[in-house]
Amino acid sequence: MTLPLEGKAALITGGSRGIGRAIAERLAADGATVVVNYARNKESAQEVVSSIVAKGGKALAVQADVSNHAQIRRLFSDAEKAVGPLDIVVANAGVHIEKPLIENTEADYNYVFDINTKGVFFILQEAAGRVRPGGRIIVVSTGGTKMHFPKMSLYLGSKGAIEQFARSLAMELGPRNVTVNILSPGFTDTDMLPEQYRAYGASLSPFNRVGTPQEIADVSAFLGSDASRWITGENIQAGGGV
């Protein structure tokens, strides 16, 4: 049986843990050759690669700090040298600070926006010029941009911006049949979900639980496949009905 992503090459930023790892493993299971980007934790990235290879998939790890424009360019060049032209790019890397707006420092602002916003902007810029016609670009945001939370101004603000980047880019890349969509996880069982929000998040879902990284990855597999070819510029909420 032919796998839906057989012969495709995918790059996932922040692919060494959490949702990024689950996406890398799922796309590889569907046949894609996966480039797992990481910033610092080489051991975790290699663990993801080993997990994929052990199951018969194809993957490699590439280090790059996505807050650095030059390293983003190098990441894409290294990925292309290793696996050829890219078909799928998932802009997933992100960080989180929970602090009242009045207490945030300039260093806090720079840390969150350099990775979550500037980083995604230049990842999209590189992807726009490199992804093959008919390719797929997925921006991982959060269902939190549709809600109201205290102490989340930096995180939600940084994510709100990238949703607008994706919508605009979708219009620009339509002539090349490249889709650009936003994937917004809800409350998901990763180390980025604050403990105090776990029970609360579960209570908001008709399923009375939080999601798993694998459930988010399943949605990414659809958005990365040919089955999603008629969907672009959309914000897909993967939050268990929250």
Structure letter (DSSP) for residue 211: B
Size (the chain), residues: 242
CA distance 36 to 13: 7
Query: Which residues are catalytic, by number?
Result: 155
What is the per-residue burial (b if ≥16 Cβ within 10 Å, else e) of 197-220?
Answer: beeebbebbeeeebbebebbbebb
- The contacts of residue 192 (CB under 8 Å, 6+ apart) are 18, 94, 96
Alpha helices in 100-212 (DSSP H): 106-113, 119-130, 153-173, 198-204
φ/ψ (deg, to 5) at 67 = -80, -5
